[in-house]
Amino acid sequence: MTTSSLLKYKNALSHKKFEFKNSPIIRLSNIKDLPDQYVTDFEGIVDPFIIDQVKIADSKAYRRLGSKTQVVFYPENPHIRVRSTHTVEVGNPAMMASDILGLNTNLVKAICDGHDIGHAPAGHMFETVSKEFGTEFRHEIFSVIIAIFLEKQGGGLNLTKQTIEGILNHSRGAGDLTTGSKIDEYNLAMYSDKIAYIFSDINDLHRINKLSLADLAEIDSIFPCDPKVYNDQQSKVNLCINALVEESAKKGFVCFKDSEVAQNFLKLKNYMYLHYERLDSDLLKEIIRSVIKEVSTIKNYDPILITALMTDRELRILYEKIISSKTINIDDIIGFGVGEIIKTGILDSQTYTSFVSKLKQKLD
């Protein structure tokens, strides 16, 4: 799609842009009347969603994303994506689509910035293994738990309700990309997340020889496009974003479902989920399982909660200690990033499930 053809969709959804004029600013934190220098100094002057972006970027959870799995556990190659680089790759196309359509780009960016701060080490594999321990861990829920209950020594980041809702709305997993909200900014962030990770995962899996030339040929047949124009990851992301813009403008709401590009993308996504299943490593499962089991021997702490706050590196360090026939105690963890959170006392006698219950009460 050329620039001129995109230009006709400029501000096509501006009438649906989220505006604060009909919706009061509500910030969600764990402590009532939380001292918040950003709000004190800038609220009413700076866009509230820009303030949210700054809060997220300054958070410890955001810093941990640089050491957490995107699709490859503990990558040695610096060109392989981690959660922090994935987060940037989600936000960039989302902002461009939002700007074209006339939506609230600052809200879209805030959602994209915060959407994965609750990912555990080893990515979605952690969610799979957590079920063995009776916990249905969901990273989008944990992202919001971190934002409200764990950051700032338990006070929370004090983000707007809209950013929090957008983060909760972003995850879909396998299957159709159904829109879960009437707010277009939420759905745009969701679509951009999927478009970004599918093509970047193809790039990274090929980089580590997990996708053969035959696999790449199959991918090209599932998602056909002119190889002279769409010959790399970024160009294919652009193709999808352009198709999303066109379909959304014509329908009057954010949508990426019915166009040929969207349908081919969904087929590609389903194909990649088969590869994700084949990537399931018995060793990686055993690493997660072993660490959770050992952490469970430490009294007063939920092993799912503690382990979820670790990085890939910290998970690996503990596993190497375990296979050296050593037990894990609190002293082994206290020097980690999660150790800073433990020292505040906010994790004492708490569980992932108890925080989920608190979150439900907070959002009701």
Residue 175 has pLDDT above 90, yes or no: no
Q: Are residues 111 and 36 located together in one domain of the fold?
A: yes
Q: Are residues 114 and 76 located together in one domain of the fold?
A: yes
Please check whether residue 90 lies inside any domain of the structure.
Answer: yes
Q: Are residues 289 and 342 located together in one domain of the fold?
A: yes
Q: Are residues 20 and 81 located together in one domain of the fold?
A: yes
Q: Are residues 129 and 231 located together in one domain of the fold?
A: yes
Residue 2 has pLDDT above 80, yes or no: no
Enumerate residues 6+ apart whose C-beta is below 8 A from 206.
216
Rg of the chain on CA atoms, in Å = 21
Residues in the chain: 364
Please give the Cα distance from 67 to 73 (Å, whole number). Answer: 9
Per-residue confidence band for 10, with pLDDT thresholds at 50, 70 and 90: very high
Residue pair 232/273 in contact (Cβ under 8 Å)? The answer is no
Q: Are residues 267 and 343 located together in one domain of the fold?
A: no
Domain that holds residue 310: 282-349
Residue pair 86/189 in contact (Cβ under 8 Å)? The answer is no
Question: What letter represents residue 297's amino acid?
Answer: T
Please check whether residue 355 lies inside any domain of the structure.
Answer: no
Q: Are residues 297 and 185 located together in one domain of the fold?
A: no
Residue with tokens 């479902």: 257
pTM attached to this predicted model: 0.96
Please check whether residue 229 lies inside any domain of the structure.
Answer: yes
Residue where a domain stops, chosen among 228, 252, 279: 279
Burial 175-187 (b: 16+ CB within 10 A, else e): eebebebebbbbb
Q: Are residues 51 and 97 located together in one domain of the fold?
A: yes
Residue where a domain stops, chosen among 223, 249, 279: 279
Tell me the mean pLDDT in the region 243-261: 97
Tell me the mean pLDDT in the region 234-242: 96
Please give the Cα distance from 283 to 280 (Å, whole number). Answer: 9
Tell me the mean pLDDT in the region 18-44: 88
Q: Are residues 148 and 191 located together in one domain of the fold?
A: yes
Please check whether residue 354 lies inside any domain of the structure.
Answer: no
Predicted local distance difference test score (pLDDT) of residue 31: 85
| Number of domain units in the chain | 2
For 80, the enclosing helix (H) or strand (E) is none
Predicted local distance difference test score (pLDDT) of residue 3: 55
Q: Are residues 331 and 227 located together in one domain of the fold?
A: no
What is the CATH classification number for the domain harbouring 209?
1.10.3210.10
Residue where a domain stops, chosen among 279, 314, 334: 279
Q: Are residues 213 and 333 located together in one domain of the fold?
A: no
Please check whether residue 118 lies inside any domain of the structure.
Answer: yes
Q: Are residues 10 and 97 located together in one domain of the fold?
A: yes
Please check whether residue 363 lies inside any domain of the structure.
Answer: no
